[in-house]
Chain A
Amino acid sequence: MQLKSEQPDLLEISGLTKGFPGVQALDHVDFTLRAGEIHGLLGENGAGKSTLIKVLTGVFRRDGGSICLDGQEIEARDPADALSLGIGTVYQEVNLLPNLSVAENLFIGRQPHRFGLVRTGEMRGRSSELLATYGLHINVADPLGSYSVAVQQIIAIARAVDLSAKVLILDEPTASLDAQEVETLFRILNDLKARGIGIVFVTHFLDQVYAVCDRITVLRNGRLVGSRPIAELPRIELVSMMLGRELAAEALHRNQRPAVTGNPMVAFKDYGKRRLVEPFDLEIRPGEVVGLAGLLGSGRTETAKLVFGIERAESGQAFVDGKPVRIASPRDASRLRFGFTPEDRKTEGIVAELSIRENIILALQAQRGWLHQIPRRKQDEIANRFIKLLDIRTPDAEKPIGLLSGGNQQKALLARWLATEPRFLILDEPTRGIDVGAHAEIIRLIERLCDDGLALLVISSELEEIASYSDRVVVLRDRKHVRELSGPEVNADTIMTTIASHQ
Chain B
Amino acid sequence: MMRRHLPVLITLAVFIAGYLICLAQFPSFASTRVIGNLLTDNAFLGIVAVGMTFVILSGGIDLSVGSVIAFTGVFLAVSIERYGLNPYLAFVLIMGLAALFGAGMGFLIHTFQIPAFIVTLAGMFLARGMCFVLTTDSIPINAPAYGQITEIALRLPGGGRLTFIALIMLAVFGLGIVLAHFTRFGADVYALGGNRTSAELMGVPVGKTTVRIYMLSSFLAALAGIVFSFYTSAGYSLAATGVELDTIAAVVIGGTLLTGGSGTIIGTLIGVLIQGLIQTYITFEGTLSSWWTKIAIGALLFAFIVLQRGLSAASIRAR
Contacts and interface: CB of A to CB of B under 8 A. Distances in A.
Is there any pair of Cβ atoms, one from A and one from B, under 8 angstroms apart in the complex?
yes
Nearest to A118: B182
A164 interface: no
Given A83-B203, A99-B193, A145-B315, A117 B187 contact: no
A120 interface: yes
Contacts of A97: 190-191, 194-195, 198-199, 202, 261
A172 interface: no
Given A79-B201, A95-B201, A146-B3, A100 B182 contact: no
Nearest to B4: A143
A118 B181 CA distance: 9
A99 B202 contact: no
Interface string B27-40: 00000000000000
A333 to B, nearest CB: 25
Given A99-B193, A100-B190, A117-B183, A108 B204 contact: yes
Contact of B187 (A80, A111, A148): A111
B62 interface: no
Most chain B beta-carbon neighbours within 10 Å: one of A100, A104, A139: A100
Interface residues of A, number: 27
Interface in A102-150: 104-105, 108-109, 111, 113, 116-118, 120, 139, 142-143, 145-146, 148-149
Interface string A64-84: 000000000000001110010
A98 interface: yes
Interface in A441-470: none
Contacts of B191: 97, 100, 104, 108
Nearest to B205: A109
A113 B184 contact: yes
B202 A109 contact: yes
Contacts of B203: 80, 83, 108-109
Most chain B beta-carbon neighbours within 10 Å: one of A139, A146, A148: A146
A440 interface: no
Interface in B1-50: 1, 3-4
B197 interface: yes
A96 interface: yes
B319 interface: yes
A114 B251 CA distance: 30
A108 B188 CA distance: 8
Contacts of A146: 1, 3-4
Interface of B: 1, 3-4, 178, 182-184, 187-188, 190-191, 193-195, 197-204, 261-262, 315, 319
Interface of A: 78-80, 83, 95-100, 104-105, 108-109, 111, 113, 116-118, 120, 139, 142-143, 145-146, 148-149
What 4 pairs between A and B have smallest CB-CB spacing? Answer: A97-B194, A99-B194, A99-B261, A80-B203
Given A108-B187, A142-B4, 9 more contacts: A80-B202, A80-B203, A95-B201, A100-B187, A100-B190, A108-B188, A108-B191, A111-B187, A146-B1
